[in-house]
Structure 1
Amino acid sequence: MALWRLYYHLIWATKERQPLITPERKTQLYSYIIGKANTLGSIIHAVSGIENHIHLVASIPLRLSISNFVQNIKGSSAHYLNHLSPSQDLFGWQRGYGVFSMGSEQLEQAVMYVQNQKAHHSNGTRILSLEQHNHEDNGP
């Protein structure tokens, strides 16, 4: 078994940046993502966001590419939410994502940043380089 300590800050947006992550969906979405990541052998250190995008701090095992991880999480979470409450607006993720690697020294700071997303957006204390993602990529 390989020893791995890989840390990533991932960001992606809802379809057309619509405010689809409602308070009703937020808890269900975050719980689902944590559970799905666990079944993939990944660790979610933090997950949060606002109505139109999400941030994750995750450790992804060597056997799983980052793009496969993101594709799996995005696809299955949208499917889950749409089948959980079919009467709500159709949930979807925009194409593409942003990913930043970090060392263990930055892990605590990244976790705190993700956990305080709502405050950062309200107070204008966002780190702009961590809020960008490329929706034009060919990725998931």
Structure 2
Amino acid sequence: MAYTNLRVHLIWSTKDRKPLIADEFQEDLYAYIGGILRKRKHVLLAAGGIADHIHLLVGMHPTQTIADCVRDLKSNSSVWVHEHFPKLKMFQWQTKYGAFSVSESSVDSVMAYIANQKEHHKKLTFQEEFLAILRKHGIQFDPRYVFE
């Protein structure tokens, strides 16, 4: 038996950062994503974002990799959007994503950060926010390729 506490802050945007995540279905999208996670033995601890991107705080089960989890979330949630909102046939997620480990002592502050996305983005764009998070976590990157 493994004893784990794997908390991961996941972030990604819509393709080309198009503002396609409407307030009218945002909470339903998060609930659907929570269901995908539960089926894979993960736990959705927090979800938030604005029209062009999403933040998730996930309690990961050790049997699935982060890459596989994100792939499943993106593909299944895209299908859900297309089925429930036919006018959004152009809806896609960007290819890249960010995944950041979160210590148990930081869970509350990350949850508050995710809950405060609408207010936060009155001051910063998604691009500015994402680059700041990469820097905060000491991740090396070439800004020319971050948002492909």
User: TM-score range, shorter-chain basis?
Assistant: 0.7 to 0.9
> CA contact under 8 A between 2:96 and 2:147: conserved in structure 1?
yes
Structure 2 unaligned regions, length at least 5: 136-140
Residue type of the alignment partner of 1:42: H
Task: Write the deviation string for residues 88-123 of structure 1: whole angstroms up to 9, x where unpaired.
Answer: 352110101011102101111001100111111114
Corresponding residue of 2:114 = 114
Task: Write the deviation string for residues 47-91 of structure 1: whole angstroms up to 9, x where unpaired.
Answer: 000110100111111110000000000110001110112133521
- Could you tell me how far apart the structure 1 residues matched to 2:38 and 2:103 are? 21
TM-score between both structures, scaled by the size of structure 2:
0.83
- 1:23-62 pair list within 5 angstroms: 23-62=23-62
Q: What count of residue pairs does the alignment treat as equivalent?
A: 136
> CA contact under 8 A between 2:81 and 2:88: conserved in structure 1?
no
Corresponding residue of 2:86 = 86
Residue type of the alignment partner of 2:133: L
Corresponding residue of 1:129 = 132
* Larger CA deviation: 2-11 vs 86-95: 86-95
- 1:12-31 pair list within 5 angstroms: 12-31=12-31
Identical aligned residues as a percent: 34
Segments of 4+ moved more than 3 angstroms: 131-136
Matched position secondary structure for 1:41: coil
TM-score between both structures, scaled by the size of structure 1:
0.87
Matched position secondary structure for 2:12: strand
- Could you tell me how far apart the structure 2 residues matched to 1:44 and 1:96 are? 20
> CA contact under 8 A between 1:97 and 1:135: conserved in structure 2?
no
Structure 1 unaligned regions, length at least 5: none
